[in-house]
Amino acid sequence: MSNSIFLQKDLIEVFAKAKNVFVFTGAGASKESGLPTFREIDGEWKRFDPMTFATMEGFVHDPVLVWNMYRSRQKQIAQAQPNPGHITLACMESFYSDFLLVTQNVDDLHERAGSEKMVKIHGDAWQMRCLECSGIFDVRDQDFPEEFVMETLPKCPNCGGFCRPNIVWFGEYLCAETLCLATHHASICDLMIIVGTSGEVSNGYGFAEFACDNGAKIVEINPTEGLLTEYADFWVAEPAGEALPRIWGEVLSYEF
Ligand SMILES: [Zn+2]
């Protein structure tokens, strides 16, 4: 691919002149904060069988095992810190008249970096959902046991029902309202920034095609080529934590 070779001033101009920005982030953004990814060749799905840990069938078969895996994931997230890529994206949102960050990550590093105009299309590792009343509850401050056993599994504070992690598992649909909102913003953006995702899941193609149809410039920031790279006008082959602060520093000093 030749789009990793471009003029830096052209890239900066695209950022500086954009008005409506759509950002799409994936596991690569959190990997720089030390959170393991799931889909890479050496990713967590090699250690944790997705049929066991990321399907409703697996959960019904052994909810204790699944809840304990998500509990350990929460502990990893709690120890991780937002990196300069997260922080730069949070700084960007007030610069543009329209901005939406759509993340596939279930951690809270974007929020902790200060992002507010954002949605999480794969759910949230800090939430549980009641299978009886469909209530969604934040578990961040819950006094959960170190290890769950069947008797201590999370119960719904409303109805006492059985709860599952509020994560979109394999074979499940994304939340229609969230997807609709994300698609709308992709279709009106004039700059789409793809960060740390190969784009193989979560309607990545759809977002990129809507953005292209609107004539948006597409910037991909990812050390490795992914499925969305073919859409990119600019492919910055670096980790976001290095590339984004550098680009943003130049954007802020851009003279119109
Ligand atoms: Zn309930």
Could you tell me which of 170, 165, 171 has the C-alpha nearest to residue 70?
Answer: 165
What integer pLDDT is reported at residue 202 of this predicted model?
Answer: 67
Q: Indicate if 87 and 13 belong to the same structural domain.
A: yes
Q: Indicate if 96 and 222 belong to the same structural domain.
A: yes
Q: Indicate if 192 and 128 belong to the same structural domain.
A: no
Q: Indicate if 147 and 229 belong to the same structural domain.
A: no
- pLDDT tens digits along 166-208: 999 999 999 899 999 999 999 999 999 999 998 877 677 899 9
CA distances from 157 to 67, 89, 153, 236 (A): 17, 35, 12, 46
Structure tokens at 102: 């759509």
What integer pLDDT is reported at residue 240 of this predicted model?
Answer: 96
Domain, as residue range, for 182: 1-34+82-122+174-256
Spell out, as residue ranges, where the chain has pLDDT lower than 70.
1-5, 38-46, 202
Ligand 1 centroid from CA 247, angstroms: 46
155 DSSP 8-state letter: B
What integer pLDDT is reported at residue 3 of this predicted model?
Answer: 56
What integer pLDDT is reported at residue 17 of this predicted model?
Answer: 97
CA–CA separation, 254 and 14 (whole Å): 11
CA–CA separation, 135 and 205 (whole Å): 31
Ligand 1 centroid from CA 121, angstroms: 22
Q: Which of 167, 197, 221 is the last residue of a domain?
A: 167
Q: Indicate if 223 and 255 belong to the same structural domain.
A: yes
What integer pLDDT is reported at residue 1 of this predicted model?
Answer: 46
Ligand 1 centroid from CA 69, angstroms: 22
Give the total number of structural domains in the chain.
2
Ligand 1 centroid from CA 127, angstroms: 13
For 175, list phi and psi in degrees, rounded to 5.
-60, 125
Catalytic residue among 61, 86, 110, 122: 122
CA–CA separation, 71 and 152 (whole Å): 13
What integer pLDDT is reported at residue 43 of this predicted model?
Answer: 64
Predicted TM-score of the model (pTM): 0.93
Q: Which of 132, 167, 202 is the last residue of a domain?
A: 167
Is 185 considered catalytic here? Answer: no
Q: Which of 148, 167, 186 is the last residue of a domain?
A: 167
